[in-house]
Amino acid sequence: MLQIAPSILAADFLRLEKDIQLVNRCGDVIHLDVMDGTLVPNISFGFSVIDHVARIATAPMDAHLMVVHPERWFEKIAKDGVQMCSFHYEAARRNTSRFIARLHELGLKAGVAINPDVPVEKLFPYIGKADYFLVMSVFAGFGGQKFIYESLDRVAKLRAEIGKRGAKAIIEIDGGINLGNARAVEEAGVDLAVAGSSVFGAEDPAAAISALRGA
Ligand code: DX5
Ligand code: ZN
């Protein structure tokens, strides 16, 4: 079954507690989008919000760092009790293995994220090292964008390569996930789907999560 990580970026920030409790109750993972306005053309939120979320989170937290120099924040993220942390390959390049090792040292699950214009093969050297791969299905920076269908091929290629090497890794997909593509992403080999607007924009977010899961 597809696991669902509702993205807090689309939550109601005036009633954030209500939305976090909903994810605790009905979601699998709390997805936290951190943007710096440099790696991506938008600024979201930082530790002032994550510290608060951490106080009431019972579901595992997943920090998606869309920032340059992500390694500056690994320690603080670990202190907040975040379990999964991904950084962008575009921000790490030749430091990718070192950043994965540092996250492991801090007791975190390490994820490597890529934007749609980065060849998926760039992730292959980290199979067997990273715990998960975050394949962006829109360009990182904004919620509510349209799903890029070529992402399905990218996921399938990555899933096949992980299988070929007899390795283990979770594939997470992020951007434009809704009921119209959830089954296709699952079939392509995704384990964990991030969903922002299709969950928090729904009339009944709890029902939207179970529909996306396919339960
Ligand atoms: C985009 C973020 C996503 C975003 C997804 O850069 O990484 O996590 O919140 O939002 P939707 O599901 O609305 O595309
Ligand atoms: Zn994200």
pLDDT, tens digit (0-9, with 9 covering 90-100), for 124-181: 999 999 999 999 999 999 999 999 999 999 999 999 999 999 999 999 999 999 999 9
174 is catalytic: yes
Ligand 1 center to 5 CA (angstroms): 10
Task: Look at residue 215 in the predicted model and tell me its pLDDT.
Answer: 64
Q: In Å, how far from its chain's centre is CA 211?
A: 19
Confidence of residue 25 (pLDDT cuts 50, 70, 90): very high
Q: Where are the alpha helices (DSSP H) in 32-179?
A: 47-56, 74-79, 89-92, 96-105, 151-164
Separation of 145 CA from ligand 1 center, angstroms? Answer: 8
pLDDT at 19 over 80: yes
Provide the 10 A C-beta neighbour count for residue 65: 27
**pTM to 2 decimals?**
0.98
On average, the pLDDT of the chain sits at 98
For the chain, give every domain's residue range. 3-213
CATH superfamily entry for domain 3-213: Aldolase class I (3.20.20.70)
Tell me which residues have their CB closer than 6 angstroms to ligand 1.
7, 9-10, 31, 33, 64, 138, 140-145, 174-177, 194-198
- Ligand 1 mutation pick, 7, 29, 44, max ligand atoms within 8 A of CB: 7
Cβ 214 vs Cβ 182: under 8 Å: yes
